[in-house]
Amino acid sequence: MAILKVLEIPNPRLRCTAQPVANVSEDIRRLMDDMAETMHALSNAVGLAAIQVGVEHRVIVINAEKEDGGPQFLYKMANPEVVWASEDRSTSMEGCFSVPEAYAEVERAAVVHATYLDENNQPQKVEATGVLATCIQHEIDHLNGVLFIDYLSPLKRERIIKKLEKVRRLRA
C-alpha cells in the first residue's frame, strides 16, 4: 500500500468528472487500499475520492460509524450513486483536504440511500444519515467535479481561496 498525494485547489483535475469502473478489479482494490491508507494518514479524515488523488475513477472510501451504531466501518465504494435523497435538510461543518484549512457550513439532504460496488465487486445498498450521509454526498460531489466551497456564496468562496493563496505563499 502507498500514501498518495492529495490534489489541492486550484488544480484543474479536481473539476474533472470521474468515469465509472467496469468492475472492481485487483487494480481498483489496490487503489481503494491506497486511498484508505492515505485517508488514515491525514488527521481527522473521514472520506476521500479517487479524483482527489488524481485518479479519474468513480471510487471513494469513507470511515464512519455504521448506521446501526456499530463501530467505525471502512466503506470502499466503486460507482457510488445516491438513488434517493430526503427533502429534509441537514447543515454541518465541512472541510476538505483538497481545500486545506477551510471549513464552512453546508446544507445537504439529511438522509440518502446509496448504491455501490464493494471491494469484492458485490452490489451494496446503504441508508445513511448524519456524518455518513454528509460524507457520501461530499465524496460523490468530488467525483462530479464539485467542491464543498461551490455551495457557498461567492464572497465566502473568494475569502477561502484568498486565504489558501496566502497560506501557500507563506509555505513557499
Residue owning grid cell 493563496: 165
- Residue ranges and CATH numbers for the domains of the chain are 12-171 (3.90.45.10)
pLDDT number for residue 69: 61
Q: Please pick, among 81, 94, 139, 165, the residue that the annotation labels catalytic.
A: 139
Q: Please state the rounded mean pLDDT for residues 25-44.
A: 93
DSSP character string of 126-146: EEEEHHHHHHHHHHHHHHTT-
User: What one-character-per-residue DSSP string does 113-131 give?
Assistant: EEEEE-TTS-EEEEEEEHH
Tens of pLDDT, residues 86-141: 999 999 999 999 998 899 999 999 999 999 999 999 999 999 999 999 999 999 99
Asked whether 114 and 128 are in contact (CB, 8 A), the reply is: yes
1-29, pLDDT tens digit by residue? 799 999 999 999 999 999 999 999 999 99
Give the chain's mean pLDDT.
93
Is 8 catalytic? The answer is: no
